[in-house]
Amino acid sequence: MDKSRQRTKDFKLNQSFIIKSKKSWWREGIVILFTSIVWVYCITVIYFFIDAIFSINNEYPRLFKVSFKMTNFDIQGFFKIAVVLLVTIYIMLLVWIFYNKKRFGSLTRRKYPGITTKEDLMDLDMIDEDIYEILQEEKVVVFETNPIRDRED
């Protein structure tokens, strides 16, 4: 169906699709507060790991390490295990890609169907030309019977 239907240029119709909401300032303030807390937490965790990996030993990360009974070697060991797992998963995914390309080939053979024209639909011989015109020009169509299943030949 390559012919577009008529659009209503009524302002009220266009305004009915716009979502309107009234946000309260205190709710937005709570959202900003929680977002800020999460950002500070993430930055603190990153700083904690950087301090342990490079053995900077600043005061605040050292306080966390003492309270959690950890050393820089523990954190570095954890980080090494995480890196090994990340590299292992990455290599497994690369092998999986190679396997799928060998088994199924490249995906260049796939192509999307072309634009359906009026002639294509008429060649199917499922609807009449007058029903096609009704479908193209009307915004809302109500059928008493199914025009494909209950057509009269």
Q: Could you report the per-residue pLDDT of 62-110, keeping only the tens digit for each?
A: 988 899 899 999 999 999 999 999 999 999 999 999 999 888 877 666 6
Percentage helix, strand, coil for the chain under 3-state DSSP, each rounded to 5: 60, 0, 40
Q: Encode pLDDT of 101-151 as tens digits.
A: 888 877 666 677 788 888 888 888 888 888 888 888 887 777 777 766 766
Residue type, 116: T
Residue with the two structure tokens 């053979």: 109
Strands (E), the chain: none
**Selection from 128, 122, 151 nearest residue 2 by Cα:** 122
* Beta-carbon count within 10 A of 69 CB: 7
